[in-house]
Structure 1
Amino acid sequence: MNFVRLGLWLLRRERTLKGINSSGEWRVLLLALIIGVGSVATTGFLGDRIKRAMSEQGANFLGADLLVSSPRPITHWPQHALATSSAIEFTSMVAQGDAFQLATLRAVDAAYPLRGSVRIAARPFEPGVARPALPPRGSIYVDGTLLPLLNAQVGDRVQIGEAPFTIAGVVAEEPGQLGGVFGLAPRVFLRADEVAATRVLQPGSRVSYLYQFAGEAQALAAFGAALKPALDSTQRLIGSREGVETLRGAFVNADKYIQLTALVSLLLSVAAIAIAAHRHALRHYDQAALLRCFGATTAQLRTLYAVQLLTLGLLGSLLGIAIGAAMQQGLALMILPDAATRLPALGSAPVGVALVSGLLALAGASLPALLRLIRVSPLRVLRRELPPLPLAAWISVAVSGSALLALVAWVADDAKLVAVFVGALAGLAAVLVLLARLALLGGQAVQKLSHGPLRFGLAQLLRHRFDSTVQLGAFTLALFLVALLALVRSDLVDSWRAQLPPDAPNYFLVNIAPQQQADVAAFLQQHRLQASALYPMVRGRLVSKNDAPIAATLPPEERDNATLRRELNLTWTTTLPANNAILAGQWHGSQRGAAISVESGMAERLKLAVGDSLGFQVGDQMLSARIGSIRSVKWDSMQPNFFVIFAPGQLDALPASAIASVHVAANQASVLPGFVKTFPGITVLALDKLITNIEAVFAQIIGAIQLLLGFLLAAGMAVVVATLLASLDARQQEAVLLRTLGAQRAWLAKSLWSEFIALGLLAGLLASACAEIAMALIAHRLFELPPRPHPWLWLVLPTVGALLVGLSGWLTTRQITRVPPMQSIRALG
């Protein structure tokens, strides 16, 4: 007998069975596999497209084969024979008439870009023509989004600092354009030799110096190897394969969140597959025993059921991959709305990852039931005994599960994050199971007070306690994550805004030169604008602790801390700023000397304590100061805040610019154009616009995750349906007995509806409670906000849960109410 053909024939036959003999668990298994693979394929396709876009067009993204970014000019380079170009990038105000807008200015030389091209158009949204990025003298090229913000058009005159410029064209395409998707300010190109005329750059201004190199691969490799040891932690060497760092960093963060959401869907799908496979094995023990009586060997039974399993695995995986290919475009449009159409076509690598994920998930969840099935004794036809679960089953679960998690960690490129997330998810699942058991125990009191079909439905829920606990836990988890994400999206920013006082500063004044400080203060006082104190700033890098390199004092995983990779804004003052509080040590006050105060978060990350001596490199000078106090900072106060504050005496003689925050009421907005004209070199940063841009990026990421929540809800429903199918035989026996004793179909149907609606209501209530607790913890621990109740959540989630679980439960079990008692007895006998 050909057991391969027999396995396929039996699988096809089961698909055509109707009624109580139907094999619904195969459909659930297939659906769960499609859901799990679809979620993995969706994120895999999108991540692969982004990575290949940065790899295939890396040089075009950078504008060079190699890019060096530094906060300070670099004057000495290893000897090389490469083409070079340099640019500087900084933010400043661009004004036209009474309108002004913060922009990112890139000052370039004639060689920019070394790779790729810049296309300049006469009007926004036109394709433009390739031109040098260097504008004509006295002119600039601008991002098309800047024009409506300034109510300007090509040919108009605008002001940057103290210099006027003519808008000579619109930038239609540029190297690194995808990276601008997450930018907070429109891009402007100007000539590097005209920056000085603007008088925008003051001591302490934040400037990025960009050095580009292009040439043969061997020369680039030698140059990079010679240069890398000479760069410090604030300077970055970026190759063409790395792409634009802003895009890479922003997408990697979003990609990790999305991959973790997909992982939850995959794990829930594995649970549904395991339950469905167990149900399938129970239904086929008699079939396997009969085949053993006819002479089938263990190897032949293994072939028979492995063929069925592999067929379903391949079919479900391929359908999931097809769905993922369609869904990833929606994700791309949400995360990269302006760049999705320019991404490369779908690649083949995610297909292999998704396919292997599906097969590993299927193997880990199904092999225990399969191994037990093929070892069934021929005596099963006479005695209803089952063989014990073999050791190989547990080994297969461990190997398949470990391989699946290893694959996910490899794709996510962060094994630690995946391990922590899976551990936290396991802990959450355990808590939800415990809550589900307690909720079911509480349901006993309700059941005793009810009557009729409702009383019987609740009794059924309590009778199938294990299945009810699994269903309740799985669906509560899905609803909880959906609710939590919805609350995070809509609640935190609104709550934070509500905490701000009406007169909270809504503008920052940056790059105030020393000679302008008195005039700025007079201007603000004249127009009755409420401003903070003017804080002087110099930029310096933390390099040592107690005369040892700071990185050497930290654990290896902390040595790439962002605080060490960038220059800090340093200030000095005698007065403790508002919204700061001393936690340890003493504030230096008016005492002059080498004392500093360090923010508590920085002190915790870098293992700093009162009394430690820190060394800072400020320009070409080295300064040393001892920590006199550690303080907390309320960063969301909209006031100028600093990680490190010096006592007067050490920084006073250094060239510095100043920063201040100011509150401008709606009826005072007309003052700002006059301020920009009076002080053209000062950057006016509108916090409302900054927050709006951050919210837009946040909404894009959350929207993408919400798209994946469809997989999450579907996976939760698959667990519910799988557990219902697993209890279908017992339910059928109960229904036969009740019908034989005279119960009507309508009465049975009402009891089923009561059971499933109660299950959905419980899941919604538990999810609401968990979401409220989680939001309160997030708001308090991360944002220092008071808890905020959400009454609507307690209505929406139970209603949604009751509808979804009620409908799926009824569709799964309705057949048992429609079969006549005699036919049911014959089928079960």
Structure 2
Amino acid sequence: MWAKLALKLFSREFRRGELTVISAAIALAVLTVLTLSMVTERIAQSIAQKSSAFIAADRVLGSNHVIDTSYIAKAEQQNLKTAQMLYFDTMLFANDEMQFSSVKAASSGYPLKGQLKVKSSLNGETEVASGGPTLGNVWLSESVFYSLNIDIGDVVELGAALFNVEKVIVEEPDAPFNVFSSSRRVLININDVEKTEVIQPGSRVFYRQLYAGDESDINSFYDWLKPQLKENQQWYGVKDRQSPISNSLNRAESFLLLAGLLGIILAAVAIAVSAKRYCERQYDPVAMMKTLGSSRAMIRKIYLTHLLMVCLMAVTVGLLIGYGLQEIATHYLAKSMGTTLPMAGFKPWLVAISTGVICAVMFSIKPLFDLFDIPPLRVLRRNLGDKLAVSRLHLAMSAFTVFLLMWLFSNNIKITLILFASTLTLIGVLFLVSKVIFGGGRKLGLKPGNSWSLAIASIQKRANVNAVQLISFSLAIKLLLFLVVLKNDMIADWQSQLPDDAPNAFLVNITQNELEPINTYLAQKNIQVSEFYPTIRGRVNAVNGELVAREVSLQDNEKKDEEARAGIGRELNLTWLETPPAQNEIVQGQWFNENTLAEASIEESMLERLDVELGDTLTFLIGAQSFDAKITSVRKVNWATLKPNFFIILSPDVLKDFPATYISSVRIEPDQKRDFSQLLRSYPTVTAIDVGNFVKQIQSTIEQVSLAIGFVLTIVVLCGALVLISQVQASLGERMQEIVILRTLGAKSRLIKNATLYEFLLLGGLAGLVAAFFSDIALLIVQQQLFDLAGKLHPHIWIIGPVAGGVFVAGLGYFMIARTLKQNTQGLVRALG
């Protein structure tokens, strides 16, 4: 019997709209989580796969000593592709000429990701190599040909072995993005290393093992590998390296994660409002059922059945729509990117289902328990049970639920705590502001019979309800403004780092004598060139007179001095400048002045690494010469720019007597390549580093992320609209009563329509103004703390917020009650009954 009654009541309430909004809110929460999770996971995998070309693999194991070959065998057992490499620097000889070069020896599987591009002659066409050099052959970068005055087919001497010059290296996928690294690149077969006899005990050699395959197989292999890794071995992927591409990927993932969290907050607010309103609407039916003899157990079964049916239906619909949306979205994104997006795993499904169930249960359970406690006497005294409408326990449970959902979705406690705490603060401040504004509004002198007067009177009458609506509207608008502005700022920041005329090559190893003629030549050929930076290699040897720990070799059984102070372990590229570089910001201390003597400016991460502070003295060692410099400023460096950056910059007086070479970035247009090649032929000791492909890859990444962000914003806007719908739906019954009373008193339809429109306009405008204020403050904090952007205020959203809020809320609110306004008085009375 109770089941039949439950189904009948469910059908009736669903037609009335209360359960519709709850179901829609739960479904939207589910589809939001599923869609965002699947789209972002597939986009992230696609970007990561493309970006893996920068390390020629999905993961790399690096070491300063020989790596156990059993790792390769184990990886191949787990369906991973593998390759081996080693690097060393040595002299290359040919035609009585010699050149210090960087040698890479690779196995036949190299590269696992990306493309190795070569030419068969210096003036030939670029082609993609199907593999590396065969035994006895060597591939050289173009600058080596000029330095040694050789051509294809000549013989070069590397150690004790002779090699035939076979190809010109045009592009290596894993060429180091370090403008100080040598571009005198030499590629040989790894099986030829032994016959060169170059590697001897004590030689400085770097070993790499490359791995590529499914993420699950890689993670499984790493679980086996991790306990065996030595102290000086490093396992990394593309996002683990400090580079523009890794920074862009991490920042993009943070934004998509943030957008998903905000979407969940909006959907959760809609569910909470709708569930509470639904239970309040059931107070009278429950009281009537109790009067007619229904037991508490029977009522509990009826409404818990309603909850179960709503949950199952909404979760199912949310999953179906969410999957369809992500298929449409990923198809469009894949077409725009010109690629195929990999499939997502099971995690998005599990998180989406969990979100739907948690939302349905946690936001409904307390209002339902209150509903079961409604006394039968409410049929005579309609105010009995109204005190249950506001419950601190319900608020606490709702807050805990939102926190749990955010944590479940993000799996990042730091971001979750920041957003959760800021949202609670916003709600508290908004509630106080709304009380002050609505309370102060009662003193306004307004004429009766005026639409504006009626609108403000309506706002005053529902002060508590409107306070909740203001909070909901402001929260929705604030989050939307927040995401839109953050997206624009983030992409603008990327594009400012990589404008259309960004440098695509670097000139390194320029001597003082070559500086002026090279600069003149570039100017004559209209080749865009940036500032020339002097550089010299040096080591931080001591801090305040205390020696720092030096790098040790475990291969030679050296012991690390645990008592020594933390150091760098390698030489740094030092420079001296009179003014700070444009991409640097002084965050502590002051830059050098005319009277500066022996001072240093240090980058902030290096400050932490050396555990030093302003006023400390660093001792540098260049060759056999030692000198001191006092730290007088700390810089924040934008490492994402394609310009030379330095950890430590010294005052000009310190290094003026040391011989230095210079570095600069240049922009080479396609029609200037011949002129640039002529420059390299004229100055064979100058090294050119081409980063054009790197620029293209970063720009491609930005475009892909921008598409994904646009889709995410669309979902969040839908969540914001649902919050507004749920709020208007919650007050629909009361508005119907007011319309009946006003019509009975003789009010014209035009007066009522205008008053309703003005009421929503005022609420939306006020919500937009408050949202703009808090959005700007939140942006200032989040940009600096989470996205490493230069925080700034956005005056334009102070205008956009109120205007957009007023129009959006007024339009959507008026649309929601337009049907009610069109009904005649008799129909409204019947509907209320």
Please confirm whether the aligned pair reaches a TM-score higher than 0.5, indicating the same fold: yes
Which residue does the alignment assign to 1:201?
none
Residue 106 (structure 2) pairs with residue 109 (structure 1): yes
Which residue does the alignment assign to 1:313?
311
Residue 32 (structure 2) pairs with residue 36 (structure 1): no
Q: 1:192 aligns with which of 170, 188, 213?
A: 188
The Cα of 1:371 is off from its aligned counterpart by 0.6
SS at match of 2:253: helix
Which residue does the alignment assign to 2:574?
571
Q: How does 1:353-372 map to 2 (within 5 A)?
A: 353-372=351-370
Name the stretch that deviates more: 323-332 or 767-776: 767-776
Which residue does the alignment assign to 1:183?
none
The Cα of 1:291 is off from its aligned counterpart by 1.8
Report if aligned partners of 1:574, 1:588 keep a CA contact under 8 Å in 2.
Answer: no
Letter in 1 for 2:21: V
Letter in 1 for 2:811: L
Which residue does the alignment assign to 1:522?
517
After superposition, the C-alpha distances for 1:376-411 in whole angstroms (9 at most, x for unaligned) are 122222222444878998667656754663454244
After superposition, the C-alpha distances for 1:488-513 in whole angstroms (9 at most, x for unaligned) are 4446776999999x9x9964874622
After superposition, the C-alpha distances for 1:37-89 in whole angstroms (9 at most, x for unaligned) are 2221123223555788899999999878973236xxx3444585856843479
Task: Specify whether residues 772 and 802 from structure 1 end up closer, same or farther in structure 2 by C-alpha distance, changes over 3 A only.
Answer: same
Report if aligned partners of 1:614, 1:624 keep a CA contact under 8 Å in 2.
Answer: no
Task: Specify whether residues 390 and 783 from structure 1 end up closer, same or farther in structure 2 by C-alpha distance, changes over 3 A only.
Answer: closer
Letter in 1 for 2:463: R
In 1, Cα distance between the equivalents of 2:251 and 2:493? 24
In 2, Cα distance between the equivalents of 1:659 and 1:397? 61
SS at match of 1:67: strand
SS at match of 2:612: coil
Report if aligned partners of 2:263, 2:716 keep a CA contact under 8 Å in 1.
Answer: yes
Which residue does the alignment assign to 2:202?
none
Report if aligned partners of 1:271, 1:365 keep a CA contact under 8 Å in 2.
Answer: no
Structure 1: segments with no counterpart, 5+ residues = 17-22, 91-104, 123-127, 143-156, 181-186, 197-206, 552-562
Q: How does 1:355-754 map to 2 (within 5 A)?
A: 355-387=353-385, 398=396, 402=400, 405-406=403-404, 408-436=406-434, 448=446, 452-490=450-488, 507=503, 510=506, 512-513=508-509, 516-525=511-520, 532-538=531-537, 569-573=572-576, 575=578, 577=580, 583-584=588-589, 596-600=600-604, 602-603=606-607, 607-610=611-614, 612=616, 628-633=630-635, 635=637, 640-645=644-649, 658-660=662-664, 672=676, 674-679=678-683, 682=686, 697-698=701-702, 700-754=704-758
Residue 235 (structure 2) pairs with residue 237 (structure 1): yes
In 1, Cα distance between the equivalents of 2:221 and 2:267? 48
In 2, Cα distance between the equivalents of 1:507 and 1:141? 24
Name the stretch that deviates more: 774-783 or 465-474: 774-783
Residue 18 (structure 2) pairs with residue 25 (structure 1): yes
In 1, Cα distance between the equivalents of 2:243 and 2:715? 31
In 2, Cα distance between the equivalents of 1:240 and 1:492? 21
Task: Specify whether residues 816 and 480 from structure 1 end up closer, same or farther in structure 2 by C-alpha distance, changes over 3 A only.
Answer: same
Which residue does the alignment assign to 2:301?
303
The Cα of 1:473 is off from its aligned counterpart by 3.1
Letter in 2 for 1:816: T
Report if aligned partners of 1:474, 1:720 keep a CA contact under 8 Å in 2.
Answer: yes
In 1, Cα distance between the equivalents of 2:351 and 2:588? 50
Task: Specify whether residues 692 and 733 from structure 1 end up closer, same or farther in structure 2 by C-alpha distance, changes over 3 A only.
Answer: same
Letter in 1 for 2:230: P
After superposition, the C-alpha distances for 1:704-756 in whole angstroms (9 at most, x for unaligned) are 23322233222222222222222223222221111111223333222222222
In 2, Cα distance between the equivalents of 1:827 and 1:524? 84
Letter in 2 for 1:43: L
Task: Specify whether residues 443 and 141 from structure 1 end up closer, same or farther in structure 2 by C-alpha distance, changes over 3 A only.
Answer: farther
Letter in 1 for 2:516: A
Report if aligned partners of 2:550, 2:569 keep a CA contact under 8 Å in 1.
Answer: no
The Cα of 1:640 is off from its aligned counterpart by 4.7
The Cα of 1:192 is off from its aligned counterpart by 3.5
In 2, Cα distance between the equivalents of 1:331 and 1:474? 29
Task: Specify whether residues 638 and 802 from structure 1 end up closer, same or farther in structure 2 by C-alpha distance, changes over 3 A only.
Answer: same
SS at match of 1:328: helix
Letter in 2 for 1:808: L
How many residues align structurally? 744
Residue 273 (structure 2) pairs with residue 286 (structure 1): no
Task: Specify whether residues 575 and 115 from structure 1 end up closer, same or farther in structure 2 by C-alpha distance, changes over 3 A only.
Answer: closer
Task: Specify whether residues 392 and 80 from structure 1 end up closer, same or farther in structure 2 by C-alpha distance, changes over 3 A only.
Answer: farther
Report if aligned partners of 2:6, 2:306 keep a CA contact under 8 Å in 1.
Answer: yes
The Cα of 1:31 is off from its aligned counterpart by 1.9
In 2, Cα distance between the equivalents of 1:315 and 1:423? 33
With normalisation by structure 2, the TM-score equals 0.70
After superposition, the C-alpha distances for 1:518-545 in whole angstroms (9 at most, x for unaligned) are 2133321465587635321438699989
Which residue does the alignment assign to 2:11?
12
Task: Specify whether residues 116 and 771 from structure 1 end up closer, same or farther in structure 2 by C-alpha distance, changes over 3 A only.
Answer: closer
Q: How does 1:337-352 map to 2 (within 5 A)?
A: 342-352=340-350
Which residue does the alignment assign to 2:766?
762
Report if aligned partners of 2:535, 2:660 keep a CA contact under 8 Å in 1.
Answer: yes
Task: Specify whether residues 786 and 313 from structure 1 end up closer, same or farther in structure 2 by C-alpha distance, changes over 3 A only.
Answer: closer
In 2, Cα distance between the equivalents of 1:471 and 1:422? 20
Task: Specify whether residues 400 and 446 from structure 1 end up closer, same or farther in structure 2 by C-alpha distance, changes over 3 A only.
Answer: closer
Report if aligned partners of 1:776, 1:788 keep a CA contact under 8 Å in 2.
Answer: no
Task: Specify whether residues 472 and 704 from structure 1 end up closer, same or farther in structure 2 by C-alpha distance, changes over 3 A only.
Answer: farther
Task: Specify whether residues 569 and 317 from structure 1 end up closer, same or farther in structure 2 by C-alpha distance, changes over 3 A only.
Answer: farther
Which residue does the alignment assign to 1:812?
816
The Cα of 1:10 is off from its aligned counterpart by 1.4
With normalisation by structure 1, the TM-score equals 0.71
Structure 2: segments with no counterpart, 5+ residues = 74-81, 89-101, 120-126, 153-165, 178-182, 194-204, 552-565
Task: Specify whether residues 467 and 592 from structure 1 end up closer, same or farther in structure 2 by C-alpha distance, changes over 3 A only.
Answer: closer
Report if aligned partners of 2:484, 2:713 keep a CA contact under 8 Å in 1.
Answer: no
Task: Specify whether residues 351 and 81 from structure 1 end up closer, same or farther in structure 2 by C-alpha distance, changes over 3 A only.
Answer: closer
The Cα of 1:777 is off from its aligned counterpart by 7.7
SS at match of 1:272: helix
Q: 1:270 aligns with which of 268, 284, 287?
A: 268
In 1, Cα distance between the equivalents of 2:488 and 2:414? 30
Name the stretch that deviates more: 281-290 or 532-541: 532-541
SS at match of 1:192: strand
Task: Specify whether residues 596 and 304 from structure 1 end up closer, same or farther in structure 2 by C-alpha distance, changes over 3 A only.
Answer: same
Letter in 1 for 2:22: L
The Cα of 1:623 is off from its aligned counterpart by 11
Report if aligned partners of 1:541, 1:564 keep a CA contact under 8 Å in 2.
Answer: yes
Q: Percent identity?
A: 23
Q: How does 1:150-165 map to 2 (within 5 A)?
A: none
Task: Specify whether residues 623 and 238 from structure 1 end up closer, same or farther in structure 2 by C-alpha distance, changes over 3 A only.
Answer: farther
The Cα of 1:351 is off from its aligned counterpart by 1.6
After superposition, the C-alpha distances for 1:436-476 in whole angstroms (9 at most, x for unaligned) are 55665686788837962233123223332233333333333
